[in-house]
Amino acid sequence: MNKPQLTVEHLLRSGFLEVGCWQLNRGRELSHQIDLPAAAGVYAFAIEGVVQYVGVSAKSLRQRFRFYAKPGKTQTTSIRLNELIRGRIAGGATVEVLIANPPDHEWNGLKISGSEGLEAGLICDFDLPWNKRGSPTIVQSEPAKAGRNTKSASVVDIVRRRPGMTELEIAKAIYGPRAVQQQVNAECRRLVNLGLVERRGLGGAGDPFTYRSRKKEDPRSSPG
């Protein structure tokens, strides 16, 4: 059974606050101007009114966002989210931030964390693309047929469903979490030349290329 999308409107009705958005500074690094509390809480990242990611900080939202802006080498989740957010912003998207500070509760004398419980409930009930490891994952809806360029079809299908992806994100969606961008960059450029895919950005380390489908034709009919 498919889960529904989680919308910003739903969170606002439920008591979340919309506090600002992520930005890229002059060095093309992730930053923000949000006055975050040094307290536990739940946070959400949204694009065009649809929530992409929900997380929790058991101690300090302010500190958690510092990790996203400048993740350490071993902070794999922060590195992944940093890359996703920068890629979307470089592609022209606005990544909104919402937060909530639910109270803790007790059950039979035992403490229950309101923040951790809320995060777990949202992840359980809604489709949150960035909460999935290796996300976004594209599943072939039908087996490949002779004469099709399946890699081209995969790239176009991915950027059509999730516009604004970087080459590294596309590679991981096709080949798995250990993929590198070199596995798809030549194919992405070929599709740009064919007019099937649009490329945006400067291509530097802080401003990676992002891709969108031009929707000119069915990619499955494109030449190999």
What are the pLDDT digits (tens) for 174-191?
777 777 777 788 888 888
What is the C-alpha to C-alpha distance for residues 61 and 27, in angstroms, rounded to an integer? 24
pLDDT at 196: 87
Q: Average the pLDDT over 69-93 and give the result.
A: 91
pLDDT at 206: 67
* Full residue range of the structural domain in which residue 184 is found: 150-221
**Which residues, other chains included, contact 143 with Cβ-Cβ below 8 Å and sequence gap of 6+?**
none
pLDDT at 152: 56
**Which residues, other chains included, contact 105 with Cβ-Cβ below 8 Å and sequence gap of 6+?**
111, 112, 114, 117
In the chain, the largest separation of any two C-alpha atoms, in whole Å, equals 67
Tell which wins on pLDDT, 5 or 168: 5
**Does 109 share its domain with 154?**
no
Query: CATH number for the domain including 204?
Result: 1.10.10.10
Total domains, the chain: 2
Local structure of residue 91 (DSSP, 8 states): T
Give the residue ranges of DSSP H helices in the chain.
Answer: 8-13, 61-69, 76-90, 114-125, 150-161, 167-175, 185-194
**Does 87 share its domain with 59?**
yes
**Does 192 share its domain with 122?**
no
**CA angle (95 as vertex; 87, 174 as ends), nearest 5:** 40
Query: CATH number for the domain including 43?
Result: 3.40.1440.40
Tens digits of residue pLDDT in 144-158 = 333 334 455 678 888
Which of 98, 131, 164 represents a domain boundary (last residue)?
131
Q: Is the pLDDT of residue 29 over 70?
A: yes
**Does 183 share its domain with 124?**
no
pLDDT at 73: 87
**Does 117 share its domain with 60?**
yes
pLDDT at 14: 97
Which of 78, 103, 131 represents a domain boundary (last residue)?
131
**Does 101 share its domain with 198?**
no
**pTM (predicted TM-score):** 0.61
Q: Among 33-37, 42-46, 106-110, 168-172, name the one with the lowest average pLDDT.
A: 168-172
Which of 101, 131, 161 represents a domain boundary (last residue)?
131
**Does 59 share its domain with 86?**
yes
